[in-house]
Homo-oligomer: A and B are copies of this chain.
Amino acid sequence: MKPEIIQELIKIVGEENLYTTLEDLYCYTYDASFLKADLKDLAGVAVYPGTVEEISMILTLANREKIPVVPRGAGTNVSGGSVSIGDCIVLVLKRMNKILEIDKKNLIAVVEPGVITGQFQREVEQLGLFYPPDPASLAVSTMGGNVAECAGGPRGVKYGVTRDYILGLEVVLPTGEIMTTGGRTIKNVTGYDMTKLFTGSEGTLCVITKIIVKLIPLPEAKSTMMAVFSEMEQASETVSEIIAGGLVPCSLELLDNIYIKNIEEYAKVGLPVEAGAVLLIEVDGDSEILSKQIGKVEEICRRLGAVQIRVATTKEEAEDLWLARRSAFASVSRVKPTIIGEDATVPRSQIPVAVRRIQEIAAKYNIIIAILGHAGDGNLHATILTDEMDREEAARVEKAIDEIFVLTVELGGSLSGEHGIGRAKSKFITLQTGKIGLEIQRKIKHALDPNNILNPGVMFGA
């Protein structure tokens, strides 16, 4: 980065909020995806602005000088959307971390992008309110990052995802202009829905500086159960039956045999290691109706062949059941050094086919693919256990991933349910959008960011 640019940036954010050494910038060459930037892709500078005005000045400068800008929250991105790309400015939003307002009368909150999602949830829950989106990263990931990626989580099946809770935004455009979208009302049809366009735009259209969030009343109670099946097909069929029966659990998580074995070895939670699949099911709502709901779910599980059912009767028992799910990634991390978590999503009735075909792909390429999923919304996390240092295996893994993506689209699904496209999956995007679909999105990108300075390469490729 040219010294005069650094000097201009220091004037904007102050010396204490700007980093240029190798050891500092190295941190931005990776995020939570398997992508890692080469040293040639080391950022030129990282800045931590404190206000929307500072961000506006930074983008105005970057746009004038045509310097790429990579926005970043907590760096938990799982599609490589926040790694540095050459002599760029990494724009870290973590200092803007205030909950500005929680408005109980209107069921809304206003937050800055650097607010940590889990902390925000705890704050609103203390007031009897609920912000449902629950990405696995929520203990560290930020609201800004969650909005930029349209994060999901287990509760998506009942409560939807981040986009369903964002009413309005303040953003800085690539040209440095400040723009507000949406507002403080649920009903709002003034102009195009820019809020939803920016939600999930992966830092390519704007930098998010303020978020108006919709809240709902906190459900009175919840109830958790686990059902064990000999065969994956039975478990998948059970998921479809539960939904078709008019029951919508708040979580409906599926684990395959590879996960079951590894979790049991690692966490000793009492899972039968020969089981083909486990479903972890949580319902929530008014306490009067929970036991009726759990009863109905239990009945469906039994009818479809569950060999073991455990219903938690206390909070501690529920925690124990969730421990299995929470130990999942840690348990498979012991097997192989590289874990690639895909998040292809299919219509839920296609889960049995998708699981079978993914297992066939694993066999064909002689690699390990474990399956864990937010089965209620068809969001499968096919987890590839591999070793990136093994070049020969890596080549097979790549071919397997290609086939999984083609399969997903063939089954009427989406390349990504909640992880985003980022840099990791940009080469696959036309499989789903088609050529016209991508061209139209490129036109929108170009209309808003004519110099292509904001997160270039993300979504659209080089």
Q: Find out whether the CB atom of A185 lies under 8 angstroms from the CB atom of B347.
A: yes
Interface string of A174-186 (1 = CB under 8 A from B): 0001111101111
Q: Find out whether the CB atom of A432 lies under 8 angstroms from the CB atom of B183.
A: yes
- Distance in Å: Cβ of A195 to nearest Cβ of chain B: 8
Residues of B within 8 A of A286 (CB): 285-286, 288-289, 292
- Distance in Å: Cβ of A349 to nearest Cβ of chain B: 4
Q: Find out whether the CB atom of A417 lies under 8 angstroms from the CB atom of B448.
A: no
Q: Does A3 touch B at the CB level, under 8 Å?
A: no
Q: Does A346 touch B at the CB level, under 8 Å?
A: yes
Q: Find out whether the CB atom of B443 lies under 8 angstroms from the CB atom of A189.
A: no
Q: Does A22 touch B at the CB level, under 8 Å?
A: no
Residues of B within 8 A of A199 (CB): 193
Q: Find out whether the CB atom of A347 lies under 8 angstroms from the CB atom of B414.
A: no
- Distance in Å: Cβ of A317 to nearest Cβ of chain B: 25
Q: Does A342 touch B at the CB level, under 8 Å?
A: no
CB contact under 8 A between A189 and B436, given known A216-B248, A243-B107: no
CB contact under 8 A between A193 and B437, given known A244-B105, A412-B183: no
A418–B459 Cα distance when bound, in Å, is: 32
Choose among B194, B196, B377, B414 the residue that contacts A190 (Cβ–Cβ < 8 A). B414
- Distance in Å: Cβ of A442 to nearest Cβ of chain B: 9
Q: Does A441 touch B at the CB level, under 8 Å?
A: yes
Residues of B within 8 A of A419 (CB): 189
Q: Does A415 touch B at the CB level, under 8 Å?
A: yes
Q: Find out whether the CB atom of B417 lies under 8 angstroms from the CB atom of A189.
A: yes
Q: Find out whether the CB atom of A437 lies under 8 angstroms from the CB atom of B180.
A: yes
Q: Does A240 touch B at the CB level, under 8 Å?
A: yes
Q: Does A413 touch B at the CB level, under 8 Å?
A: yes
A97–B374 Cα distance when bound, in Å, is: 35
Q: Does A217 touch B at the CB level, under 8 Å?
A: yes
Q: Find out whether the CB atom of B105 lies under 8 angstroms from the CB atom of A190.
A: no
Q: Does A150 touch B at the CB level, under 8 Å?
A: yes
Q: Does A187 touch B at the CB level, under 8 Å?
A: yes
Q: Find out whether the CB atom of B415 lies under 8 angstroms from the CB atom of A190.
A: yes
A160–B164 Cα distance when bound, in Å, is: 9
A-B contact pairs, 20 of them (CB 8 A): A106-B347, A106-B349, A152-B187, A157-B186, A160-B186, A173-B436, A181-B437, A184-B412, A184-B413, A187-B374, A188-B416, A189-B418, A191-B459, A192-B197, A192-B200, A192-B459, A196-B197, A217-B247, A286-B288, A443-B447
6 closest pairs, A vs B, by CB? A187-B417, A196-B196, A217-B246, A105-B349, A443-B447, A188-B414
- Additional 5 contacts, C-beta under 8 A, given A188-B414, A189-B420: A185-B412, A193-B199, A194-B437, A216-B248, A443-B448
Binding site for B on A (CB under 8 A): 103-108, 128, 149-150, 152, 156-157, 160-161, 163-164, 173, 177-181, 183-194, 196-197, 199-201, 205, 216-218, 240, 243-244, 246-248, 285-286, 288-289, 292, 345-349, 374, 377-379, 412-421, 429, 432-434, 436-438, 440-441, 443-444, 446-448, 459
